[in-house]
Amino acid sequence: MTNTGDATATAHEARSLDETTAEESGRNANRSTTPESEGFKSFIRGGWADRDETLPAPREQAAFAASRRERVSAAFPGQRLIIPAGDMKQRANDTDYPFRAHSAFAHLTGWGSDSEPGAVLVMEPAGDAGHTATVYFRERAGRDSEEFYANPAIGEFWIGARPSLAHVAADLQLEARGIADLDQVVDAVDTATLVLREADLAVTERVDHARLRYAAEAALSTNAADTPFSLEVNAEHEPDAELARVLSELRLVKDDYEVAELRAAVDATERGFAEVLAELPRITSEVRGERVIEGVFATRARLDGNDVGYASIAAAGPHATILHWTRNDGPVVPGDLVLLDAGVERDSYYTADITRTFPVNGTFSPVQRQVYEAVLEAADAAFRIVRPGAIFREIHAAAMEVIAKRTAEWGFLPVSAEESLRPENQFHRRYMVHGTSHHLGLDVHDCAQARRSMYLDGVLEAGMVFTIEPGLYFQPDDLTVPEEFRGIGVRIEDDILVTADGAENLSAGIPRTADEVEAWVRGARG
């Protein structure tokens, strides 16, 4: 985002907390029937039992989050860092999407699905001590306030209990202050202050304008009225981009807590897949059977975690050839394959990302099995590459050698496999245009802002977690393949942990070989 203009406060900056609250509660003020009589107001403010103010023990991830903040502090000595959680996003009129805090905020605070919308983490320089960390959020209002009963966005009468400052401070082992106090942070912003720009555009705008004010005042204080200074804040503000990069690369190697959460996410996902198979009779009887698959898995995700980690792909028949098929509105027909790409997201936000492809009737046709076993061969070849010291892109290269070899053998390529693998050719990629691996963690495509040298060209280290997910997709109208292959899509995706001496397939417990998958489906169908 590019901002230009004078160094005056924005309208957003100048708005009071009361004005913001009024806007949130008034999106449908024209149909509000909230009583306004003094009698009602007096009556609703009293007669409540005392709150249980017992403070919680620190959550498990608090110590891990503190360690992560120490590493960030070392990377930015003397600089104020502002990492927002983000705010609610409107879905339609007065309804919002479920809130999910920005992953960097969650990583550095340990606050997951119970985090407060609009919260902001500020790391303030503290000399030799590095930084002091404070989380700012809108604390709960008292029961004697109108917010309590009249504000459907944040009032406890509407959305349930909200935490106090003391509760959050004890829970996260962080200093906690009210969101109104964030004004003092913004007032102190200088050009060395960094903000995670993408997390909350309103906060970013406030910081940008505060930096402009600071620059203008600095120019005037040096009696350099004739010296031009820029009032433009580049959308790719390089210091801010450096903060985003560091926070992204910090997540490349997972700590013990993160690995444990990813294991739990995989285990929950395995349960979800099994429950989908158990519902196959109903799935095949519905016109929109793919929606049943989606719904069954989503139920497990909500029972065992916060939600699905991304929009589930429940692709049956030719829909399996569409890489990101999330409409999920087609039938599930015996004789077809189902490609299910789904993952449970834990309350900590760590998510699994697993794909299995299975025959609806429990038996692969000869051509389906041929394609399936080629994809499995590619996945196994990629897995054998994984060890500390290997290069991330070598995983993809290993899978592509198999894909090129098999599609050449089947006569689909205009050249040999060796020729197709040359950078100037890549004919085999027609049937698998996506990459083989991506890092996994708080985001399904984790660490996305890391440098190429740390990601694609990065060296594997123990503690890294990523997917291996080769596939073959033959579009229904692809005339380069025989008719019997058209409409077949297969992907096998596993979540891989790099260990001290090799790798562990975290999702190996979910059937992978063709024989195992057939037995799995038949067993579920009874």
- The closest alpha carbon to 444, from 236, 322, 301, belongs to 301
| φ and ψ at residue 389, rounded to 5 degrees | 100, -20
pLDDT on residue 20: 46
Give me the pLDDT at residue 5, please: 36
Q: Using the predicted structure, report yes or no on whether residue 506 has a pLDDT greater than 60.
A: yes
Pair of tokens at residue 70: 């120490």
Using one digit for the tens of pLDDT, what is the confidence trace for 399-447?
999 999 999 999 999 999 999 999 999 999 999 999 999 999 999 999 9
pLDDT tens by residue, 370-408? 999 999 999 999 999 999 999 999 999 999 999 999 999
Tell me the residue type at 107: H
Domain boundaries, the chain: 11-249, 256-525
Q: What is the pLDDT of residue 14?
A: 35
pLDDT band at 24 (very low <50, low <70, confident <90, very high): low
- The pTM assigned to this predicted structure is 0.92
Does 19 have pLDDT greater than 70?
A: no
CA distance 449 to 74: 19
How far is Cα 25 from Cα 151, in angstroms, rounded to an integer? Answer: 5
Per-residue confidence (pLDDT) for residue 26, from 0 to 100: 59
Q: pLDDT class for 215, splitting at 50, 70, 90?
A: confident
Percent of the chain at pLDDT exceeding 70: 91
Q: Please tell me the distance from the alpha carbon of residue 326 to that of residue 140, in angstroms, as a whole number.
A: 38
For the segment(s) 11-249, the CATH number from 3.40.50.970, 3.40.350.10, 3.40.50.720, 3.40.50.1820 is 3.40.350.10
* Residue 165 Cα distances to 136, 156, 508, angstroms: 9, 15, 43
Whether residue 246 is predicted with pLDDT greater than 60 in this model: the reply is yes
CATH architecture label of 256-525: Alpha-Beta Complex (3.90)
User: What is the maximal distance between C-alpha atoms in the chain?
Assistant: 85
Angle between helices 514-525 and 366-385 (to 10 degrees): 120
Give me 416's structure tokens: 């040999």
Chain-centroid distance, C-alpha 480: 37
Strands 307-308 and 344-345: antiparallel
Grade residue 3 by pLDDT with cuts at 50, 70 and 90.
very low
